[in-house]
A and B are shown apart, each in its own frame.
Chain A
Amino acid sequence: MNPDTLGALPPGGRGVIASLELPSQERAWVDALGLSPGRSVTVLRRGAFRGPLHVRVDSGAELAVDAELASHVRLAAGAP
């Protein structure tokens, strides 16, 4: 798995979204839900058996994010 993605963050880990590497339709949807570039996200927990991630966005929203989808959310390099 790419080490610079949301999918690679351990529980408690935090990062700033750099880009969404998704087809444009899906990108718009993910963006509209609040996972947009520039936002800082914290992984609260990961579901069992590569289940979804439970993340908190700095807007205050909490989301369940599919693990596969999370691996397409690229984070800015370096610790925030």
Chain B
Amino acid sequence: MSDHCEAPAEAPREGASQTPTLVLVGRPNAGKSSLYNRITGGDARVGNFPGITVDVLEAPLDHEGRALRVVDLPGLYALAANGDDAETDEGVARRFLDNLAHEKTPTVLVQVMDATCPALGLRLTRDLLARGTPLVVIATQSDVLAAQGRSLDVEALRKALGVDVRVVSARDPDAKPTVLSAALAALDGAPPPRARSFDPDALGREVLRDAPRVDDEALAARARTERIDRWALHPTLGPLLFVLLMGGLFSAVFLVADPASNLVDAAVQALINVVGRRLGDGALRSFVVDGVLGGAGTVLIFLPQIVVLTVAMELLDASGYLARGVFLVDRLFRRAGLSGRAFVPLLTGHACAVPAIAATRIIRDPRERLTAVLVVPLMTCSARIPTYALLLSAFFASRGAWFRAMVFVALYVFGIASGFVASAMLRRSRTRGRTLPLLLEMPRYHAPDARVVARAGWRAAGRFVRDVGTTILAASALLWALLNVPMPAAFDHAGDTHTMPPAVARVHHSVAAGLGRALEPVTRIAGFDWRINVGLMGSFGARELMVGTLGVITGLEDVEDDDGALATRLREIRRDDGTRAYSTATGLALMAFFVIACQCMSTVAAVQRETRSWRWAGFTLVWTYAVGFALAVLTYQTARALGL
């Protein structure tokens, strides 16, 4: 069909844009992503939380020798614009369709409709028909329909709509040829009749043939959901259960991640040993081993935590609990000017802010979403954990494990609280506006599909390595250079280093150390000396580099697998006059700084991506550093006054 097309006056944006395109559209939870995965063999995220597909996914497909493109759109309830800006899931979908029409791409809309409630889907059908684009309606989840003992009158539906209608189940391999043949017939056939007037509710009722028998299974499913909800949404037990679940989730991240991290670390160390031996002893070895491999190790150590949290989130989502969480926290979040929908990104932010910032798109109101983007970086992401652990064992070693655990919990709570305060302040100033009322589908409880969960964990791992890994590698390489290039003699105030091992002496004379000393007059009021300053410079790009940097400065090569040694070392560092350089007050001040400061270039880049503004990205960096430092000063001076 494209062979009689003239060369377009304007070159299409992408080369592939004239490829016949199948666009899956439908309400959230209709089953689009499941069908997309069935057709393309892809792995779109299948979620139970309405609005979880926020990006447009596409895959090429070869069907009987014909090149096609299949697109999975975010869910939409209606196509008529209703004031959403371009960033909501519906806005994304609408803009995508408008673009296709503009580029004259041969397009067939494949409306995916939940066969068990056609009335809801038929509203959207009406909007889609009005576009005049070829359309087929795929009623999916037929297995569920059958289990309920109901059926759909396909002929009546075809007649009323004037387009082809098929009934499939995404769990059935036959769904692929059924959908493709119907879609291609519609694409090559005559355009659908534009004006069809029908009442979605009436038609929906008419075509859904109810079971002659009582549908035991549907009743059982509903009864099960009701039973669970009696506990999960109980006025007092519900919130309690919620807190326990979240607490359990974070403990799991913690407990499972630690041994796994040690394993990853051991593997990286083994690699370093092998590679190190080949490279001899020069600067190249140091660069590859300390700079690049060390940096890569820093990334990989977080992988287990990210995967554990993602899998846990996935289980919460697939089971249907996430929507209950939103129900429970909505009231509380409103105090901070957010709605319950912000719960999902804020929870994700406890693993890593980068995916969490992308997840803010499920928030419909643009100003509320911007607020969430700006406060997500305050959540205690897993990259803060090693520094907290180091500081706790350095300065609270004598207090016992319980005390340290309590401080740890306090740091999490402090992160969340500071997020709420920041949000409340933003909503009274820059992002002032009303919070849209909550209206959210509460899906039935499901048993999660193990394969889907595993795939999500795998994908999160890949994304983390890609997004965060590149930044960390770059930051590690830069840091290596700063720690190894000597400061010009005129500016070098390192003093006598003859008694130190050569590697440590080199660090003391480096550019980084020189800069750290230059900052000392200011940072001293927070208790930070040049060593900590270098650590903070080292962790500017990625906060997880803090521990490694401190290790290098204090002259220990191998710090990651033995926090204890570095902790002792930190405690014993002396000033020139022989007094201890760091006290508990220093540790507390540093923690306060780490809670607030956005020491993560990947996050800053994500803020820029999501807000399309360098101003907001810069704002995130500047305010968190300023407030973080102010808080560090306050903490340090208060702790000193209290004699810590």
Contact = CB atoms under 8 A, between A and B. Distances in A.
Nearest to B81: A25
A48 B83 contact: no
B201 A38 contact: yes
Contact of A65 (B82, B201, B323, B438): B438
A79 interface: no
Interface stretch (B3-11, B169-177, B326-334, B533-541): B326-334
Nearest to B328: A47
Contact of A64 (B78, B124, B226, B439): B439
Interface string B303-329: 000000000000000000001001110
Contact of B239 (A48, A59, A68): A48
A29 B439 contact: yes
B442 A54 contact: yes
A36 interface: yes
Q: Which of A44, A45, A62 has the most CB of B within 10 A?
A: A62
A62 B119 contact: no
A28 interface: yes
Given A29-B77, A48-B239, A54-B229, A62 B331 contact: no
B80 interface: yes
A67 B236 CA distance: 19
A18 interface: no
A60 B116 contact: yes
Contact of A52 (B83, B116, B327): B327
A64 B326 contact: yes
A51 B330 contact: yes
Nearest to B123: A32
Interface residues of A, number: 30
A76 interface: no
Nearest to B200: A36
Q: Which of B80, B116, B442 has the most CB of A within 10 A?
A: B442
A54 B82 contact: no
Contacts of B441: 33, 61-64
Given A25-B82, A29-B82, A38-B201, A60 B439 contact: no
B235 interface: yes
A59 B123 CA distance: 14
A32 B78 contact: yes
Contacts of B438: 52, 64-66, 69
A51 B327 CA distance: 8
Question: Size class of B's contact patch?
Answer: 20 to 34
Interface string B203-246: 00000000000000000000000100100010110010000000
Contacts of A62: 441-443
B77 A69 contact: no
B605 interface: no
A46 to B, nearest CB: 8
Given A25-B82, A29-B439, A52 B330 contact: yes
B330 A66 contact: yes
Interface string A7-43: 0000000000000000001101110111110100000
Contacts of A25: 82-83
A64 B119 contact: no
B440 interface: yes
A49 B235 CA distance: 9
Contacts of A45: 229, 233, 235
B26 to A, nearest CB: 12
Contacts of A66: 330, 437-439
B327 to A, nearest CB: 5
Contacts of B61: none
B57 interface: no
A28 B439 contact: no
B216 to A, nearest CB: 16
A68 B323 CA distance: 19
Nearest to A50: B331
Contacts of A36: 201
A48 B124 CA distance: 34
Interface string B157-189: 000000000000000000000000000000000
Given A30-B439, A45-B233, A61 B330 contact: no
Given A47-B327, A48-B331, A64 B442 contact: yes
5 contacts: A26-B82, A28-B78, A44-B229, A48-B239, A66-B437
Q: Give 7 nearest A-B pairs by CB, closest first.
A: A66-B437, A32-B77, A69-B437, A51-B331, A25-B83, A62-B442, A66-B438
Given A28-B78, A60-B116, A64-B326, 8 more contacts: A26-B82, A32-B77, A48-B235, A48-B236, A54-B229, A54-B233, A54-B327, A59-B119
